[in-house]
Amino acid sequence: MVDQPYRSFKLFFTADSSDPSSYPIQAFLKFSDGSNSKVADEQLQPPVGTGRMFGPFPQVPGKSISQVNFRIGANNDPAATGFSYRISVQGFH
């Protein structure tokens, strides 16, 4: 949940599994009016302890970001949901 009016956001994904895997990753910005915007849709195969930064994504004029959501794994690659990873979000004023 976003509790401050940040100007931009950076999203981070880090693989923690010891077995190599391909991670289907989607990320969304959800707005206070209920709408959302997909900001990432990628298939990653990072080595353990590494990953990717997405963004920075600026605040959308006239909208207020209320949540940042990740979807890891997909119906076309259900094995990706059994691996461990870390996600984080940073907001910038």
Retrieve residue 48's tokens.
Answer: 């353990």
The pTM for the full model equals: 0.84
The pLDDT, as a whole number, for residue 76 is 60
- How far does Cα 46 stand from its chain's mean position? 15
**Which of 41, 59, 61 is CA-nearest to residue 2?**
59
- Give the pLDDT of the chain (93 residues) as one tens digit per residue: 777 789 999 999 999 887 777 888 999 999 999 999 999 999 998 888 899 999 999 998 999 999 999 998 765 656 555 678 899 999 998
- Separation between Cα atoms, residue 2 and residue 15, nearest integer Å: 24
Question: Domain extents for the chain?
Answer: 8-92
What is the per-residue pLDDT across 59-72, written as a single tens digit (0 to 9) for each?
989 999 999 999 98
The pLDDT, as a whole number, for residue 79 is 59
